[in-house]
Structure formats: C-alpha cells, structure tokens
A and B are shown apart, each in its own frame.
Chain A
Amino acid sequence: DVKVTQSSRYLVKRTGEKVFLECVQDMDHENMFWYRQDPGLGLRLIYFSYDVKMKEKGDIPEGYSVSREKKERFSLILESASTNQTSMYLCASSSGQIDGYTFGSGTRLTVV
C-alpha cells in the first residue's frame, strides 16, 4: 500500500526552537508539498519541490524553509518556532498525473 509518512502525529515545541517536520513517500513521486491547515482558513501551500534539491515558495513561506536531499524525503524546517506557527501540517506527494496525489496524516504542532 503506497503512502506518505509524516514522522510525528503530535509535536510540542518551545518558542525559539528549531523544528524539523519530516515527510517520506514510497511512490517515487517527483513532486512533494507542505501545506498548513488552520480552522477557517483551509489548506495553504507553504513550499513545494518538483525535484531533488529543487524548492519553490508557496503562498505562505515566511518563517519556514525546506530541504529535499533525496527524492523520497521532504523536510519542513521552522528556523525559530513561534506561537503563530501552531497548526496542523500536511505533507503530500504527486506524480504529476491527475490521480497521483497522496497526503500524509498530518502533524499537529503546538508551539508554547
């Protein structure tokens, strides 16, 4: 069964910490995405990557960076976590084909 795996389901971090959210896919997909989900705001695109070592900013990249050293792994980095980054983070991957979009089950991050 193909899937996208996010390393943590729940995470609590302190303000100012550097936070890594990991995402791994086993489908050999070229495209990977990080979305942030907040009540009343839906899902918003933070960053995406269409190839190894390639990254592009999405709609809300401020305060975040990403790393894609291997095709299967796409990491989201909060350089200095702040309370307004408390949210649900969803990773997804896509083959570029219309039915090839797969989501992870999300990481609920709380910054205190």
Chain B
Amino acid sequence: AQTVTQSQPEMSVQEAETVTLSCTYDTSESNYYLFWYKQPPSRQMILVIRQEAYKQQNATENRFSVNFQKAAKSFSLKISDSQLGDTAMYFCAFMKLPSNSGYALNFGKGTSLLVTP
C-alpha cells in the first residue's frame, strides 16, 4: 500500500511571499502520478497541479510549482506571490498506474495554509 505523508499540519505566510508545502510518499511502484489538491472553505476540491512520475521536469502552473525528487520520494509544492485566496487546506495525493482501484487517489492528511495580509 502507498502512504502519503504531509508533515506540516498548519502553515502561515504573508501575502506576496513564497511558501513551500512538503509531501513525501512511500511506494514500490515505478509508474504513478502525484497531485496537489486545494480545498478552500467552500469545500470544493480543486486540482492545483499534477506530476507524472516518468517525467523529469517539474510541473508548473502559474504561481504553483513542484519540486519532484523521485529517488527521495518527495513532492513539495511551492506557491509564489501568495494571495489571500490561496488560504485553504492542501492535500498531496498519489495514484498508482495501472490502477486496480478504479484510479482511486491516496491522500495525505493535509496542510492548512493561512495567507495573512
């Protein structure tokens, strides 16, 4: 079974600053995907960014980027120029490929991020 660990239950950052959320995972699989999801107070889960394990290049989506270290099984999320709207729970998630679980996601426990003015 895969485990996903987010070691920071809560974090705080000032507006316009940069923050990094950590995620490590444990798997014996060689082919998989990694995700970061955002859950604002509205409760709607929103995909922030994803990374294919076979790709060396780190994924980037506007102000969001990842540092994917496959050998270290680490997948951290960097948020640049933090905005008040980034305040949310952030979940790291793992998906094994091929999947025998209908492509179910395996989630970490989450990091609560607060962006302050």
At the interface, yes or no: B47 with Cβ under 8 Å from chain A?
yes
At the interface, yes or no: A49 with Cβ under 8 Å from chain B?
yes
CB neighbours of A41 from chain B (8 A): 109
Q: How many pairs, one residue from A and one from B, have CB atoms within 8 Å of each other in the complex?
A: 59
Interface size on B, residues (CB 8 A): 24
Q: Is the CB of B47 within 8 A of A101?
A: yes
Tell which of A30, A32, A43, A49 touches B107, judged by Cβ atoms closer than 8 Å. A43
Q: Is the CB of B103 within 8 A of A31?
A: yes
Q: Is the CB of A42 within 8 A of B110?
A: yes
Which of chain A's residues has its CB closest to B42's CB?
A: A105
How far in angstroms is the closest Cβ of chain A from B91? 6
In angstroms, Cα B4 to Cα A96, docked, is: 21
Residues 34-59 of A, flagged 1 when their CB comes within 8 A of B and 0 if not, give 01000011111100111000001010
